[in-house]
Amino acid sequence: MGAASAILFPGQGSQTSDMRDLVERVRPDLLEMAVSAVGEDPFPRADEGTNFAQPAIFCASLAGWEALGRPLEAFMAGHSLGELGALVAAGALPERKGLELVALRGRLMHESGLAAGDGGMFAVLGAGASEHAEEIADGHDLTVANDNSPQQVVISGDKSRFADAMAQAKELGLRAMELDVTGAFHSPMMAGAVPEFERALADVTFSATAEATTVISAVTAQPFTDPRRELAAALTMPVRWREVLLTLHELGAQRFVDVGPGRVLTGLAKRTLSDVELVNA
């Protein structure tokens, strides 16, 4: 028996200039669905905000999975919005409903970011980033938003607190870089997005995943048990991606396949795990 594989679906920040071409070539019907769900083609505006980036990345990821032959592997996981792609691929959620949820999620996060005010995110980079990130965040009333790898953590919150927090990171021998985003994602500043998303999730029927396929939640770093609750919580809770990768490895995954766009997730796996096979779609 070959080594178990994990199919990984990326989140925001993984967009590439050629992802629309892939969708148009492999899944033109998905492109039509995206235009319908968003109200316009989201791809040309993917760099403008979550309301366009999330549906575009979702479609490109499913097209990448399609190009691989729609593999149903032992494990699947998604980074932030990628969770919805993973659940669709695993058969737990109809594709159209998944796209509608992604479009709504992207819009609500964009609107919540604008309404909450001066929120943002910055990356802490370097050896020991994951060890010191919580200390840095807690000391400045900020939130660890994305624990991506031992060398990369993203902190989220009120921008007015960034200067001192970033200075502390540098004092610890780490690099700190503010990100070009429109809100403090995966923090309490996204609370305004939760009620409407919860209402939409309440109307969705989630099925069992395909036989022998397990989808890992980025909120708990364990298999999904209650997708409605876990997907809603993901708006304000950290993405525990480093722990997701460790969980997948502990469960037996030896081959990690990033369905794209971009190569963000295989890069994070390379920095987190050793002696594993990394594949990009």
Q: Are residues 263 and 225 in the same domain?
A: yes
CATH code, domain carrying 38: 3.40.366.10
Q: Which of 178, 201, 223 is the last residue of a domain?
A: 178
Residues 265 and 197 in one domain: yes
Report pLDDT for 1. 38
Q: d(Cα 261, Cα 19) in Å, to the nearest integer?
A: 6
Active-site annotation holds for 207: no
pLDDT at 114 over 80: yes
Domain count, the chain: 2
* Assigned token pair, 118: 């001066």
- 10 & 87 share domain: yes
Q: Are 162 and 37 members of one domain?
A: no
Catalytically annotated residue among 149, 186, 187, 249: 186
Mind listing the pLDDT tens digit for each residue in 74-88?
899 999 999 999 999
d(CA 162, CA 180): 14
Q: Does residue 146 share a domain with residue 201?
A: no
> Does residue 99 sit in the same domain as residue 32?
yes
> Where a domain ends, among 143, 158, 178?
178
Question: Average pLDDT in the 180-200 region?
Answer: 95
Query: Same domain for 104 and 18?
Result: yes
- Specify if 15 maps to a domain: yes
| Residues 202, 272 share a domain | yes
Query: pLDDT tens across 196-221, in order?
Result: 999 999 999 999 988 889 999 999 99
Q: Is residue 92 part of a domain?
A: yes
pLDDT at 182 over 80: yes
44, with CB counted inside 10 A (0-12, 13-18, 19+), is exposed
What digits encode the pLDDT tens for the residues 36-74?
999 999 999 999 999 999 999 999 999 999 999 998 878
The answer to whether residue 139 is domain-embedded is yes
Active site residue 110: no
| Active-site choice (5, 14, 61, 80) | 80
What value does the mean pLDDT of the chain take?
95
CATH number at residue 170: 3.30.70.250
Structural domain harbouring 50: 4-115+188-280
Q: Are residues 90 and 206 in the same domain?
A: yes
CA separation, residue 120 to residues 29, 116, 134 (Å): 35, 10, 17
Q: Are residues 33 and 88 in the same domain?
A: yes
**3-class SS letters over the chain:** CCCEEEEEECCCCCCCCCHHHHHHHHCHHHHHHHHHHHCCCCHHHCCCCHHHHHHHHHHHHHHHHHHCCCCCCCEEEECCCHHHHHHHHCCCCCHHHHHHHHHHHHHHHHHHHHHHCCEEEEEEECCCHHHHHHHHHHCCCCEEEEEEECCEEEEEEEHHHHHHHHHHHHHCCCEEEECCCCCCCCCHHHHHHHHHHHHHHHCCCCCCCCCCCEEECCCCCCECCCHHHHHHHCCCCCECHHHHHHHHHHCCEEEEEECCCCCHHHHHHHHHCCCCEEEEC
The pTM of the full predicted model, rounded to 2 decimals, is 0.95
The answer to the question of residue 183 being in a domain is: no
pLDDT band at residue 281 using 50, 70 and 90 as cut-offs: confident
Are 53 and 9 within one domain? yes
Domain final residue, candidates 127, 146, 178: 178
Q: Does residue 110 sit in the same domain as residue 20?
A: yes
Mean pLDDT score, 119-140: 97
